[in-house]
Amino acid sequence: MHILVTGAAGFIGYHLSEKLLARGDTVTGLDNLNDYYEVSLKEARLDRLKTQPAFTFIRADLQDRPALEALFTENNFDAVINLAAQAGVRYSLENPHAYIDSNVVGFTQILECCRHHKIGHLVYASSSSVYGMNASMPFSVHDNVDHPISLYAATKKANELMAHTYSHLYNLPTTGLRFFTVYGPWGRPDMALFLFTKAILTGEPIKVFNNGKMQRDFTYIDDIVEGIIRVTDKPATPNPDWDAASPDPGTSSAPYRLYNIGNNNPVSLMDFIGAIEKALGKTAEKEFLPMQPGDVAATYADIEALIESIDYHPQTPVQDGINNFIAWYLEHMHKEKP
């Protein structure tokens, strides 16, 4: 297939593109290389992809309407995987406009291009953050998610609603994936694993929010990529049993699906830190802090719908995933190995 991957220089986009290329797909990668975190890391990921003849890179913003229209006109994409977005819960408190520009305006351009160019399947990144104040565990795609607690989460919920509209009006197959705390080699520097590893190696204290009373459904990048590819290969279809009198939020009478994609095995933050300490052979100095605005105390993915649809079963234990990340970090990011 010829697949457009937006956010191709990002953490998930890079790994996904690599796996698609390895199985013989042609990949066009789009990214604006913004400076939300070090551009050099994005460029290093891209350098690895550019060695593959079936990969083409386009630098552009999602909200650049003429550039996107030209891209879709010049190519005959079989599927689009939209991972480009302004990421980060905490940053959305400081720079809300970036989230509207990228995640709402940009996603509108993607939907319009997919509609007009008859794309066979649009897969897009949502987030576990949409569950917001929902305290029912594990989080289920069959639950309503109407109480987000960050603008980032609100934009991801908006994406799901926008996608449903296009699925309903234009019969565009769309699948939204609610990612749960993805980690692994080539990861984002603003994520806990990267921050903790860097601080421990340099002897700096790590910030432990909510006094360590946090749980996350940490999901290894290889498991995430496997799920994305299987979903992409199976375009969304209408749910024949969908009932407007008792609507299921995860499906529709239109070709629309939502899935949680997580490890289905939440890990306490203190155990996660312990696994990093074990991998590094060093003890972290911990600074215990209250909960950050916009954060939630726990995430836990109900992945039953994804198991039923694509036989999805995450394979990577957290300690193994952390060991892989640490090995990568020491080779690529840490100048003086301990």
Question: What residues are annotated to the active site?
Answer: 152
| Residue tagged 């350098």 (tokens) | 47
Positive/negative CA dihedral, 40, 111, 125, 97: positive
Rounded Cα gap, residues 187 and 336, in angstroms: 20
Specify whether the CB–CB gap between 39 and 17 falls below 8 A: no
Give the helix/strand (H/E) hosting 55.
strand 55-59
Which residues, other chains included, contact 56 with Cβ-Cβ below 8 Å and sequence gap of 6+? Answer: 27, 28, 29
Specify whether the CB–CB gap between 325 and 280 falls below 8 A: no
- Both tokens assigned to 308: 């039923």
Rounded Cα gap, residues 128 and 298, in angstroms: 10
Query: What is the full DSSP assignment across 225-272?
Result: HHHHHHHHTS-----TT--TTS--TT--SSSEEEEEES-S--EEHHHH
